[in-house]
């Protein structure tokens, strides 16, 4: 296989653009001398992957579809191209169509764990918990390399059903598989906060009032009665309503978001939740302590023509502090922008 390298292909995004340019050049040139339809179909697959990584999902769909229509791919490549076609649909928010592709990939290879995991995610987003749970368990049985993802999905389902102990167990398993999996850590922390049993103070049992001689009852003055009631009343803390549990931490798919702080910055946008979580870990490490003490906010957004993205943000407190933090991150070569709303 010929590798085309163009001047200036240094930075990550430029490298990805160069990959597309190189793949187009190869496809146009007919690739290596004597290359057959199988080689051309595989080049279309590679071009589709490059387009997908650049966020050009419509182009990726066309590439994968063209590769499949040639009917020249090997059995393994056909499974992969079908799956990748589904991933592109998923990125565009077309979950029902993505499920059809994942199902086709699974029919071609019943033990293809990535398709099982992705179909489970799509089912879960559509509220089909039973089907999602079935696929997550099948992905684990098939030897899914990223075991943290099925475990996390199973935890999300259990939490939604109110099985909090089961959800905690799955989140712990996800963290055991990948200790750096931020979404599982956030979900476990949020669940522990949200389900913390409030301490309810109970007033002491009042002592029985001794029987009084009817002739002496008239001697019980209003002042004496007030003194008695005050002595036997419940403590002030016991009469108050039980404290509300703390607010949940800001995590994806965990219900309505808390009120936006005045100062907030955005560190990037990613194609999936896992990418945003991994992005936070990398950015925090590269910040050399500038992000110490801050927590990630992973927020979904649907953009016309781009599909669903996951914005990675953090709350700073006020706009002045946010501007200072952005300047500090920019000085370290990291992307950062102020968020107005």
d(CA 5, CA 250): 43
Q: Are 181 and 148 in contact (CB under 8 A)?
A: yes
d(CA 156, CA 129): 10
Confidence bin at 316 (pLDDT 50/70/90): confident
Q: What is the mean pLDDT of residues 20-38?
A: 53
Tens of pLDDT, residue by residue over 51-99, are: 888 888 899 999 999 999 999 999 999 999 999 999 999 888 898 999 9
Report the pLDDT value the prediction gives residue 222, as an integer from 0 to 100: 52
Report the pLDDT value the prediction gives residue 58, as an integer from 0 to 100: 92
* Among the four given CATH numbers 2.60.120.10, 1.25.40.10, 3.40.1160.10, 3.40.920.10, the one describing domain 110-195: 1.25.40.10
Report the pLDDT value the prediction gives residue 15, as an integer from 0 to 100: 52
Q: What is the mean pLDDT of residues 5-12?
A: 42
Question: Which CATH code is given to the segment(s) 1-109?
Answer: 1.25.40.10
Report the pLDDT value the prediction gives residue 200, as an integer from 0 to 100: 38
Q: What is the mean pLDDT of residues 195-199?
A: 47
Residue span(s) of the chain under CATH 3.30.70.1070 come to 264-338
Residue span(s) of the chain under CATH 1.25.40.10 come to 1-109, 110-195
List of residues 6+ apart from 320 with CB closer than 8 A: 263
Tens of pLDDT, residue by residue over 212-270, are: 555 554 454 555 544 554 454 444 444 444 333 333 323 333 333 334 456 788 998 88
Q: What is the mean pLDDT of residues 142-170?
A: 91
SS3 312: strand
Closest CA to 246 of 297, 188, 196: 196
Q: Are 243 and 234 in contact (CB under 8 A)?
A: no
Q: Are 68 and 82 in contact (CB under 8 A)?
A: yes
The answer, yes or no, to whether residue 195 has pLDDT greater than 50, is: yes
Burial class (CB in 10 A: 0-12, 13-18, 19+), 152: buried
DSSP H helical segments within the chain, as ranges? 12-29, 37-53, 57-69, 75-91, 95-108, 113-125, 129-141, 148-160, 164-177, 182-194, 214-217, 222-232, 236-239, 273-286, 319-331
Confidence (pTM): 0.53
Reported CATH class of domain 264-338 = alpha beta
């Amino acid at each position: 296989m010929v590798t085309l390298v163009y001047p200036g292909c240094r930075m990550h995004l430029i490298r990805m653009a160069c990959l597309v340019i190189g793949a187009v050049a190869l496809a146009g040139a007919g690739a290596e001398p004597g290359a057959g339809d199988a080689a051309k179909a595989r080049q279309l697959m590679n071009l589709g992957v490059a387009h997908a990584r650049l966020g050009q999902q419509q182009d990726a769909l066309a590439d994968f579809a063209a590769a499949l229509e040639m009917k020249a791919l090997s059995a393994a490549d056909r499974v992969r191209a079908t799956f990748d076609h589904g991933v592109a649909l998923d990125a565009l928010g077309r979950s029902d169509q993505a499920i059809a592709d994942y199902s086709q990939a699974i029919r071609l290879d019943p033990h293809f764990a990535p398709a099982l995991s992705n179909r489970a995610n799509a089912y879960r987003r559509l509220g089909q918990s039973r089907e999602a749970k079935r696929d997550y368990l099948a992905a684990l049985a098939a030897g899914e390399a990223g075991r943290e993802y099925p475990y996390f999905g199973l935890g999300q389902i259990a939490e939604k059903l109110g099985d909090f102990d089961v959800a905690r167990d799955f989140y712990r398993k996800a963290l055991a598989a990948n200790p750096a999996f931020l979404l599982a850590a956030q979900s476990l922390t949020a669940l522990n906060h949200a389900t913390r049993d409030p301490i309810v103070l109970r007033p002491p049992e009042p002592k029985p009032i001794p029987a009084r001689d009817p002739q002496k009852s008239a001697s019980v003055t209003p002042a004496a009665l007030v003194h008695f009631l005050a002595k036997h009343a419940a403590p002030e803390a016991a009469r108050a309503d039980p404290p509300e549990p703390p607010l949940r931490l800001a995590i994806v798919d965990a219900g309505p978001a808390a009120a936006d702080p005045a100062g907030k910055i955005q560190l990037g946008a990613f194609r999936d939740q896992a990418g945003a979580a991994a992005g936070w870990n990398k950015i925090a490490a590269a910040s050399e302590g500038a992000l110490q003490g801050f927590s990630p906010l992973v927020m979904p957004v649907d953009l016309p023509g781009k599909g669903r993205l996951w914005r990675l943000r953090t709350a700073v407190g006020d706009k002045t502090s946010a501007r200072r933090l952005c300047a500090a991150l920019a000085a370290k070569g990291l992307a950062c922008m102020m968020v107005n709303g």
